[in-house]
Chain A
Amino acid sequence: MSVVSELRRGRYAELALVVATIVGLAAAAVHWIGLAVGGALVGVLATSLRRAVPQGLTFGGVAVALHVGIVWWHGALDALFSTGILFALTVGIGFVLPVLAAVGARALVSDD
């Protein structure tokens, strides 16, 4: 567990978070479970159970922002917003899955 403690508060805390985020995004690009994987990884790195919530939401936010950015890059942003409820669904999934996974994972791993 001290490894975990190190990763949460030590010198490499930020790096760990970045790596967790990248791994999570890579997984999410392949399958929606990746959103939960990413959420779980950043959740485990949270310094407290309470902090897991913003940690998970941030990961979700990055995933959604990346998604919107890719769509914008391909010139389809207007079409994206016009999908209305589907876009809302995308955003919802993008935040809810990671947050649930972050909190659940953090609750399983003990405090250091």
Chain B
Amino acid sequence: MNTTTRTVVAVGCAAALVTAALLGGSYLGLAAPLSGELYDSVSPPDATQVESPYGSASVWYDETGVPHIEAENEEALYFAVGYVQARDRLFRMDLQRRLIGGELSALVGEQTLDSDRFYRRLDFESAAEASWESVRDTDVGPSIEAFSAGVNHYADTGATPPEYALIDAEFEAWTPTDTLLVGKLISWRLSGSFADLRTETARARLGPNASALYPTSLDHEVPIIRDVDASDATPFSPASVVENASDPTASVEGDFGALAEWTDAYDADPTYGSNNWVVSGEHTASGDPILANDPHLGLSVPPVWYEMHLSTPETDVRGVGFPGIPLVIIGRTADAAWGVTNVGGDFTDLYTYDRRDGGYVYEGDVRAFETETEVIEVAGGDDVELTVKKSVHGPVIERGGKTVGVAWPGFSATNESLGVYRLNRAESVADVRDALRIWDVPAQNFVAADSAGNTLYYPAGRYPVRVTDGTVVRGDTVFNGSTGEGEWPGYEPYGRSSWDGFVPFESIPHVDNPDVLASANQRTIDDPPFYMGTPATYADPYRGQRIYDQLDDAASDGEITAETMKRLQRDVRSEAAASFVPYATAVEATEQMSPDARELAAELDGWDGRMTADSRAALVYRIWLDEFRTATFADEFEPAGMDEDYYPRLFVLQRLDADSQWYDNRRTLDRTERREAVAAQAMNRTAARIEREGWDTYGDFNRLELAHPFDREFLNYPERPMDGSRFTVFNFRASGETQVGSSWRMVVDFSETDDSVGVIPGGQRGVFWSDHYHDQLDSWADGRYKPLTLDRPEGEPDIVFGGER
């Protein structure tokens, strides 16, 4: 070959290489064999030695990837916690703090701009800063600082998770405020709610008859504290907060539809909930108490919870926490255990304003909004500016001509981190109770038990007392902020609240040493002495009913064991099904059905109400219930521009009389339909839908399809059919893109054999290369568990932190 040809070849190859480097440089860096960033995280750590400025600690990973950490002092412990959380869940921690801080777009681009705008307007960042200022000088402060240092040490020296390689991004340093921010996210998800907007809008659009659809209380008989006299609360009169005490309901009427539509995307579905219960030694085979808890949250890849076992010479605690927070939030020590469900009370209030001169009227004067310009960075795009407004009540949101201020106790400095810190050191129910004294946000139904035989139910939290002109009022309306309606004495958004004027700790309805007590987000107690909430945020009674029925039965036998509790956690009978099926199978209904529909209704005869994947009756019921609800309400709600987010609670539908006006189809002017006609129509539609979708059994519809935020098959979890529904104790539901269910299942047993167990829906390690990416998923889906004792694995530790102060 002559020189010219060779030169051409040489230049050609060089050009090809250079082009590849220029155009595909990031792909080369991502996926090249041997050096590709995607592969950094393939190898788990060997017996690594890690520098630490805090003292020595060792980590043993067990066969499901749970880190067992032993440290010589607290800071060494939390430094190690930071390191292992970063190793196992760094990307998820980053996403969480960015979500609530409104900084997702800086990482993933413009598709998250709407979300960032929403969260920036509510300014959780300032709330987190206020919380940090308030706890940094307490016992938990140094722990949070050491945790940050541990996270950053891993981020600087360890293998980057593959997600960063895939989007060509970097992890920015973690700060203590970030830990508090993650706490705000959880708190907001559990206790922030724009339900008042929806209720007000429904009333405005549907007229006064609609009030029957949104009662102030559901007429069932299973509040958490079933007997009013069982509460050990100190008497409390809200009037003591102010001078007068009558009970007019202030109400701003109005159509907040535009705002509600926007906030809906960020408002938790009120059917989310959790279960917990505690049984004293009175009824257990061992004579020692047993506690069970399964919180229900959105199911995600990786899971919401991260299990840890943490010990120092002074503490030994095991359970689950949220990556980004170094503490065990639900779990047990050697002698005490606790679990939580969401109180479901009303902790958010909204205020409209008389607008004037670009500001708002308040107490007779015109005030300017406090404004701040926020800059939202967008990966691969231009920065976006946003003006964040605040009023005297808190952050302000605007849409469709409405300006609304938002009050929520979590916008204030809160110290739940200190509360959890103390729970982690509890050795008795008395210790748990002490820890709960300072508990502010989010209010949670705590159940607790100890090895000495004590039990406890305490829905700890800060309950605001709403005051208008010196009179106590309910909180289930939108308030006129300009005239000072519905103020919260003792509340300081983005600052330190005194909480004077909130319900005193001792006056919160609670039970000391209950024998059997269960909570499933239903109302706390009948006729509380102060306004707690409404069915807009309290749950339907179906789970609560089932749990109490089963526990009462088991208690009367008196031989309850951990196995009894696991069986109850696996229970798939739906009390909702038991209540609604008669409507579908009533002769007056079936005689109006099509032949296909009648066949399906026949499937429901003799069905035991158990929502199992292999059940055809469960499928029929589930789809029929959907159609029944829509058929009842759509004809009134749809023309009013309200979707199913506005529909009343299922229990309300259940209790409507057969000749209720809501069953009448507005579109058929010549007829007045009754429940039977609607039930028949719903079954007709069910038959068509099942046929169209090709579903055979419930598991064809109720499928576990957990997707990683990037939604790639190799990152997603395996799919499978599932038992359970929204209303069964074994809780799982799939609807649209949401997958919700028991995000952790735990049973703590104080008998000698300590049959305590736990399981998460997925795996400990959020790196897809790992064996622990989803090794617990099948166990969880099948209702199986693994041990939750305070033993640690034998042998050499996997990571050793050494070093001196």
Binding site for B on A (CB under 8 A): 25, 28-32, 34-36, 49, 63-64, 66-67, 70-71, 74-76, 79-80, 82-84, 86, 89-91, 93-94, 96-97, 100-101, 103-105, 107-108
Instruction: Determine if B33 and A76 form an interchain contact, defined as CB atoms under 8 angstroms apart.
Output: no
Interface size on B, residues (CB 8 A): 33
CB-CB under 8 A from B209, the residues of chain A are none
**Is B206 engaged at the interface, CB distance under 8 Å to the other chain?**
no
Residues 1-19 of B contacting A (Cβ, < 8 Å)? 1, 6-7, 9-10, 12-14, 16-17
Instruction: Determine if B769 and A28 form an interchain contact, defined as CB atoms under 8 angstroms apart.
Output: no
Q: How many A-B residue pairs have CB under 8 A?
A: 101
A108 CB to nearest B CB, Å: 5
Q: How far is the CA of A30 from the CA of B34 in the complex (A)?
A: 8
Residues 92-121 of B contacting A (Cβ, < 8 Å)? none
The closest CB in chain B to the CB of A65 belongs to: B33
Given contacts A75-B771, A108-B10, whether A34 and B31 have CB atoms under 8 Å apart is no
Instruction: Determine if A71 and B42 form an interchain contact, defined as CB atoms under 8 angstroms apart.
Output: yes
Q: How far is the CA of A101 from the CA of B20 in the complex (A)?
A: 12
Instruction: Determine if A74 and B36 form an interchain contact, defined as CB atoms under 8 angstroms apart.
Output: no
The 10 lowest CB-CB distance pairs between A and B, nearest first, are A104-B13, A32-B32, A67-B33, A107-B10, A82-B714, A107-B9, A76-B769, A94-B33, A32-B28, A107-B6
The closest CB in chain A to the CB of B33 belongs to: A67
Given contacts A32-B36, A74-B43, A76-B42, whether A104 and B31 have CB atoms under 8 Å apart is no
Q: How far is the CA of A44 from the CA of B96 in the complex (A)?
A: 52
A91 CB to nearest B CB, Å: 8
Instruction: Determine if A89 and B10 form an interchain contact, defined as CB atoms under 8 angstroms apart.
Output: no
Q: How far is the CA of A25 from the CA of B768 in the complex (A)?
A: 26
CB-CB under 8 A from A34, the residues of chain B are 34-35
A85 CB to nearest B CB, Å: 9
A-B contact pairs, 20 of them (CB 8 A): A30-B35, A64-B33, A70-B42, A71-B39, A74-B42, A76-B42, A79-B768, A79-B773, A83-B714, A86-B31, A86-B38, A89-B30, A90-B31, A93-B32, A96-B20, A97-B17, A100-B20, A103-B13, A107-B13, A108-B6
**Is B172 engaged at the interface, CB distance under 8 Å to the other chain?**
no
Instruction: Determine if A93 and B12 form an interchain contact, defined as CB atoms under 8 angstroms apart.
Output: no
B118 CB to nearest A CB, Å: 33
Main secondary structure of the interface of A (DSSP, over half): helix
CB-CB under 8 A from B39, the residues of chain A are 67, 71
B654 CB to nearest A CB, Å: 45
**Is B791 engaged at the interface, CB distance under 8 Å to the other chain?**
no
Given A25-B34, A63-B33, 6 other A-B residues pairs in contact with their CB atoms under 8 A: A64-B33, A67-B33, A76-B769, A93-B33, A104-B12, A104-B17
The closest CB in chain B to the CB of A43 belongs to: B13
Instruction: Determine if B33 and A28 form an interchain contact, defined as CB atoms under 8 angstroms apart.
Output: yes
**Is B595 engaged at the interface, CB distance under 8 Å to the other chain?**
no
CB-CB under 8 A from B28, the residues of chain A are 32, 93, 97
B29 CB to nearest A CB, Å: 7
**Is B359 engaged at the interface, CB distance under 8 Å to the other chain?**
no
CB-CB under 8 A from A63, the residues of chain B are 33-34
Instruction: Determine if A101 and B13 form an interchain contact, defined as CB atoms under 8 angstroms apart.
Output: yes
Residues 758-792 of B contacting A (Cβ, < 8 Å)? 768-771, 773
Residue of A28, A36, A101, A105 near B34 (CB, 8 A) is A28
**Is B529 engaged at the interface, CB distance under 8 Å to the other chain?**
no
Output the residue of B6, B12, B714 with the most chain A CB within 10 A.
Answer: B714
B21 CB to nearest A CB, Å: 8
Q: How far is the CA of A103 from the CA of B10 in the complex (A)?
A: 7
CB-CB under 8 A from A100, the residues of chain B are 13, 16-17, 20
Output the residue of B1, B13, B31, B714 with the most chain A CB within 10 A.
Answer: B13
Q: How far is the CA of A25 from the CA of B34 in the complex (A)?
A: 8
Residues 585-602 of B contacting A (Cβ, < 8 Å)? none
Q: How far is the CA of A67 from the CA of B395 in the complex (A)?
A: 53
CB-CB under 8 A from A36, the residues of chain B are 17
**Is B27 engaged at the interface, CB distance under 8 Å to the other chain?**
yes
Instruction: Determine if B17 and A35 form an interchain contact, defined as CB atoms under 8 angstroms apart.
Output: no
The closest CB in chain B to the CB of A30 belongs to: B35
